């Protein structure tokens, strides 16, 4: 079945370091891909998305490119801040059974130290 | 601008007790979802609704029931709580089921069953 796999955490970085969180997916057809972020004590918020191959989603200095050939959607940021500490979820959505449901990866915890 | 509101935010139940979690959205969204979040497993879909008066099972529906009597509300019920239902529950809503539509999440309900 369809699935999303993320790199295991926690990821611990110093402020201003470069961030990569790996995400790969398995799905038939042409899914849309999303990154959601969950700050401590809060619900999930959409960070960025991409709807077709080679699209690049970007927001708040974060970027991810939809790579169909490698079935990947890795999240990157050039210089992380303490305020980026959160749990990051990669997810996909397919046109399937009219549900609009999201399929999530297991989440990656990012800790940024001053 | 409330968005998606979940009540309660925290709850402790004894095994065998029942309870209802309420999700309310003020964005006139058709689609609503209940997910559970467990460590290392991401978010898994429990039940969902594609419109007022409709409900359907997700990946992990056993032990839960839902109702969508009004478009803005989606209720999740536990008839006889079990320790395996200890989790964080998230409600989400979206305008439609198109591939690039954003899902909006509530802040979550942390449920402990003892």
- In DSSP terms, B67 is beta-bridged to B75
pLDDT per position as a tens digit, B62-95: 999 999 999 999 999 999 999 999 999 999 999 9
Mutation test of the interface with chain B: which of A43, A48, A53, choosing the one with the most B Cβ atoms within 10 A?
A43
Query: Hey, are the CB atoms on B44 and A104 less than 8 Å from each other?
Result: yes
Report which of B114, B104, B32 is spatially closest to residue B70, judged by C-alpha positions.
B32
Closest-CA distance, B31 to chain A, in angstroms, reads 8
Contact B33, B45 (CB under 8 A): yes
- DSSP states of B19-55: EEEEEEESS--SEEEEEEEETTTEEEEEEEESSTT--
The pLDDT confidence band at residue B1, using thresholds 50, 70 and 90, is low
What are the phi and psi torsion angles at B85 (to 5°)? -95, 5
Chain B residues touching A101 at Cβ < 8 A:
33, 45, 48, 58
User: Does A32 contact B at CB distance below 8 Å?
Assistant: yes
Angle, alpha carbons B27-B32-A110 (nearest 5°):
90
Question: Mean pLDDT throughout B28-47?
Answer: 93
């Amino acid at each position: 079945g369809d699935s999303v796999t993320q790199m295991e955490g926690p990821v611990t970085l110093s402020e201003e370091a470069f961030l990569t969180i790996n995400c790969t997916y398995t799905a038939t057809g042409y899914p849309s891909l999303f990154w959601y972020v969950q700050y401590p004590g809060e619900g999930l918020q959409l960070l960025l998305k991409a709807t077709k191959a080679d699209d690049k989603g970007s927001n708040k200095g974060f970027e991810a490119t939809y790579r169909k050939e490698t079935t990947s959607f890795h999240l990157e940021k050039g210089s992380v801040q303490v305020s980026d500490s959160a749990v990051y979820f990669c997810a996909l959505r397919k046109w399937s059974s009219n549900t609009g449901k999201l399929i999530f990866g297991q989440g990656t915890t990012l800790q940024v130290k001053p | 601008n409330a968005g998606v509101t979940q009540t309660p935010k925290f709850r402790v139940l004894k095994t065998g007790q029942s309870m209802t979690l309420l999700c309310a959205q003020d964005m006139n969204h058709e689609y609503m979802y209940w997910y559970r979040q467990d460590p290392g497993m991401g978010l898994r879909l429990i039940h969902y609704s594609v419109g007022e008066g409709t409900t359907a099972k997700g990946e992990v529906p056993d032990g839960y029931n839902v109702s969508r009597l009004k478009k803005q509300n989606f209720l999740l019920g536990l008839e006889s709580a079990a320790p395996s239902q200890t989790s964080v529950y998230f409600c989400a809503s979206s305008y439609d089921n198109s591939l690039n539509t954003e899902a909006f999440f509530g802040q979550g309900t942390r449920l402990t069953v003892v």
